[in-house]
Amino acid sequence: MRPKDVLTTGDVARICNVAPRTVSKWFDTGKLRGYRIPGSKDRRIPLDQLVRFMRAHDIPLNGLESGSTRVLIVESDANIARLLAEALSREAGFETHTARHAFEAGHVSAGVKPQVILMDVAVSGLTGREAVQAIKGLPDLNTARCVAIAGTADPGLRERLSQDGFDAVLPRPIDVPTVVRTIESLTQLPG
């Protein structure tokens, strides 16, 4: 997928893995060049200006490679992880990566900088609360959205996982259209 020639602040936020208000601040202070839509407060950033800005500030360019939402699937069953990754790639065009345990997820996250992490809460290595705190505590991942995949739709478990810091909870069996809608709702940013 080829990146667009002109980007919204939401697009830039996804690519750079920062909050949209950070992009607005870069724009308003003149660090990131672009223009406003006439008669609107909406900002637009030409792709060449973004690349120049990213290089000047040592921001990895890997977010530009696909322009897609980067999703990490942490699932101990390799077949389920592979099938889900393929389905999310095919159905929604997400850039997907997989990990089978907490250590591998940390390693993959360091290179990929996922925007969404789908995590089987039964994966060994960390509790849900520890995992979310570890993810949100890293500067490169503090804006990542964490989605728990639980073995049940029990409202008590859903509430506990939400209290642990998960942005959403999805029950098994995994329904791909529901996963896509959840990811899209968590990653939609104002333009």
> Facing residues of 171 across strands?
150
Question: What pLDDT sits at residue 19?
Answer: 83
6-65 maps to which CATH number? 1.10.10
Look up the pTM and report it: 0.67
Q: Which residues contact 3 (CB under 8 A, 6 or more apart)?
A: 47, 64, 67
* pLDDT at residue 117 tops 60: yes
- Within 10 Å of residue 68's Cβ, how many Cβ atoms? 17
Q: Domain 68-187 falls in which CATH fold?
A: Rossmann fold (3.40.50)
Provide mean pLDDT across the span 138-159: 83
> Facing residues of 109 across strands?
none
Rounded mean pLDDT of the chain? 85
Domain boundaries, the chain: 6-65, 68-187
100, 81 Cβ separation under 8 angstroms: yes
Tokens of 52: 């120049």
Question: What pLDDT sits at residue 62?
Answer: 64
Q: Which residues contact 89 (CB under 8 A, 6 or more apart)?
A: 95, 96
> Judging by beta carbons within 10 Å of its beta carbon (0-12, 13-18, 19+), is residue 105 exposed, middle or buried?
buried
- Summarised one tens digit per residue, pLDDT across range 149-190 is 987 767 888 888 889 999 999 998 899 999 999 998 887 644
